[in-house]
Amino acid sequence: MNKIVMITGATSGIGLACAKRFAENGDKLILTGRNERRLKELSDEFKSNDTQVITLTFDVRDREKATEAINSLATEWREIDVLINNAGLALGLDPEYDGSFEDWETMIDTNIKGLLTMTRLIVPLMVNRDKGHIINIGSVAGDAAYANGNVYCATKAAVKALTDGLRIDVAKTSIRVTNLKPGLVETNFSTTRFHGDTERAANVYKGIKPLTGEDIADVAVYAANAPEHVQIAEVLILPTHQANGTVIARKES
């Protein structure tokens, strides 16, 4: 049965890969992001392939705009089956005593508060129907801190705690809650972290074949389509030569 899937941060990376995989599965899409032009391009592309899609332009950090966007949904689109809390980012890679206040605030407001905003807006709709699935995109960084990752690691540890807490809160319902924790995924993640320094970003993936957004999307689709009595609570997804957040066996070029 076709689902209505809402994906935050859907214009690139893991979010876009999820949109494509769920579209291939025949599902309907609600795509959100900050870039209205890019959302329009994606809408046209998906519609040309007979995917039912609507787009909502807002920043998850802006609770008022997010609320307005959700409230604007037509009744038939409010029956959201899957919420993928994907919007998130890392900024900077500095010692905690030397980090940027602005970068910290952006990560906290996006990765934690933005996820909470979307959860608060969408999950009550699922509770009312006793049906739904929340898939949060966490990170291996949420399992243990790594050098200079401090605040980003803390935000992803928060994603794990919030996901676990939500799963407890909805255990009496039929709603499922999943935390996907990728390791190295080659998207625009590192370019964003290093504020557009593409050379430094490329070095993150040097000597190892990283995951792709499609790899994570495959797991998301699997979790969303597991039998109703099966809850994929948490999945750690790593490249073959990555053992955890800090141990990576790189091959010399």
Give per-residue pLDDT as tens, 8-49. 999 999 999 999 999 999 999 999 999 999 999 999 999 999
pTM confidence score: 0.96
Superfamily the domain 4-237 falls into: NAD(P)-binding Rossmann-like Domain (3.40.50.720)
Nearest one of 140, 143, 125, 118 to 56, comparing CA atoms: 118
Q: How far apart are CA 57 and CA 136, in angstroms?
A: 20
Residues 6+ apart with CB under 8 A from 153: 141, 142, 144, 145, 146, 245
- 149, with CB counted inside 10 A (0-12, 13-18, 19+), is buried
Sheet of 4-7: strand order equals 53-57, 28-33, 4-7, 82-85, 133-137, 176-182, 234-237
Active-site annotation holds for 205: no
Chain Cα centroid distance, residue 48: 25
**What are 168's two structure tokens?**
């407890």
Q: If you search the block for the tokens 């705690």, which residue do you land on? A: 161
What is the band of 1 on the pLDDT scale with cuts at 50, 70, 90?
Answer: confident
To the nearest whole percent, how much of the chain has pLDDT over 70? 100
- 231-244 confidence digits (pLDDT tens): 999 999 999 999 99
- Choosing from 97, 146, 152, 222, which is the catalytic residue? 152
